[in-house]
Chains A and B, each alone.
Chain A
């Protein structure tokens, strides 16, 4: 538990002690370097967009596959799991593959991109030490609460933060875990006999298929919040995720 320098535990309600410029003051602009600050390594940018494309296709082909049996449980013995999409056929524009076989081909091809880019990304985080700025740990609970108070306008000053604030850490840690769970539940329903122990871990084939489907909606919810916040709070971060250079409101968090 050695604390990383930029995320040293702070007393939660001590805004006067902020060591960094508080970014919520547009009246005092920071002198920016001409190209901004270097923010994202090319591995992060490449795997981010590979994942964005793969995940979109995986969800769309997954909805195509779901169409073949839009229930959970055994045939003729549907489980009483909550599913607002029971018997629902997703619109054509939301599906990929045209029919079940096409959906399967897309799904099992894009899964490779998802798996490999996810593995490269996590390996990069570990090797570079950047995981320290991303992993949500128990000590982030206090700062996350302060950040939430700030967003709810119950706190005036933007709490101090490192590269990411505590809420962001929570969101990114959650989504990486969600990616891992999607892969594991995917393998559990892909090879439920060869990988029976994995399938059993998720409560059997029917439940593993259900968790796999739930993960879709968690990804969709994450993406909606993620994209909304990018455009509302920090549109300049889009550029930094493409070129690597950041010239926006939060340069000190580069």
Chain B
């Protein structure tokens, strides 16, 4: 038995302890500290690149479910303390600008005149749950065809009138490839009815290829940009691409 103790020397114990210690430090809800946090963010950006350029298809459609598969409930969510409402819904219009040849303001009736898409799909939340619902709206690519983005437009910024208690507005940045996906829509219909305020009325962004937090509700503006816009949750560390 003494032989075995020799076989595992004090130095080996030290080495083993170092490994075990680093593994234990992995626990305790550690966020990486000032040293590792930027590294983790850099890996997250690399994963965004892989997600956008390798895993994402610009034409593969998300499988559609029958309307009978709809969930009984669809959780509603906003960052404001209470459901954001327009004081004058008739005055609302969506501004589309930035790196485009024909900037526009579209009213709700104008948006509803455009080509219409309806699908029943699962909604994937970053938290890990799903719900199935039916969404109706105009593909973002159809709106892009109207405003004609320039060649250097690489991203889209979606702005919202949802603001948290400190007045910080909700917003998202998207890659052009995901935004031009045929199932990415400006939605104004939910489960065969007009979109309700708790789900982002009058118009929200929807797509089955993104996590829920990428789907800006209570839209006010779309801006085509050259630089990558951040996002309300993305700025706090959530994956920027958020593709599923």
- Show the binding face of A for B, using Cβ within 8 Å: 26, 29, 32, 36, 49, 52-53, 56-57, 60, 64-66, 68-69, 71, 74-77, 92-102, 104-106, 108-109, 112, 189-196, 205-206, 209, 235-236, 238-239, 242-243, 246-249
B50-77 with Cβ < 8 A to chain A: 51, 55-57, 60, 62-63, 71-73, 75
A57→B40 CA distance, assembly (Å) = 13
Contacts A97-B31, A105-B41; A49 near B237 (Cβ below 8 A): no
A100→B127 CA distance, assembly (Å) = 8
Would you call B55 and A194 a contact (CB within 8 A)? yes
Would you call A193 and B126 a contact (CB within 8 A)? no
For the A-B complex, the count of residue pairs with Cβ-Cβ distances under 8 Å equals 159
**Complex contacts, A108 vs chain B, CB 8 Å:** 43-44, 47, 239
**Complex contacts, A109 vs chain B, CB 8 Å:** 39-40, 43-44
- The interface on chain B, measured as residues whose beta carbon lies within 8 A of the other chain's beta carbons, has a size of 56
Contacts A75-B130, A239-B8, A247-B6; A60 near B239 (Cβ below 8 A): no
Chain B residue with Cβ nearest A247:
B7
| B173 contacts partner chain A, Cβ-Cβ < 8 Å | no
Q: Which of A53, A60, A235 contacts B7 (CB 8 A)?
A: A235
**Complex contacts, B132 vs chain A, CB 8 Å:** 74
- Show the binding face of B for A, using Cβ within 8 Å: 1, 3-4, 6-9, 12, 15-16, 19, 22-23, 26-32, 39-41, 43-44, 47, 51, 55-57, 60, 62-63, 71-73, 75, 122, 124-132, 208-209, 233, 236-239, 243-244
Q: Could you tell me the dominant secondary structure of chain B's interface residues?
A: loop
Chain A residue with Cβ nearest B131:
A75
Q: Could you tell me the dominant secondary structure of chain A's interface residues?
A: helix
Contacts A191-B55, A205-B122, A243-B12; A76 near B130 (Cβ below 8 A): no
Would you call A101 and B55 a contact (CB within 8 A)? no
Q: Which 4 A-B pairs have the closest CB atoms?
A: A101-B237, A236-B7, A68-B127, A69-B128
Q: Which of B1, B28, B44, B62 contacts A93 (CB 8 A)?
A: B28
Apart from A56-B27, A101-B233, 4 more pairs, CB < 8 Å: A76-B131, A104-B126, A105-B237, A193-B62
A84→B56 CA distance, assembly (Å) = 36
Chain A residue with Cβ nearest B208:
A193
Would you call B128 and A98 a contact (CB within 8 A)? no
Contacts A64-B29, A75-B131, A196-B63; A205 near B124 (Cβ below 8 A): yes
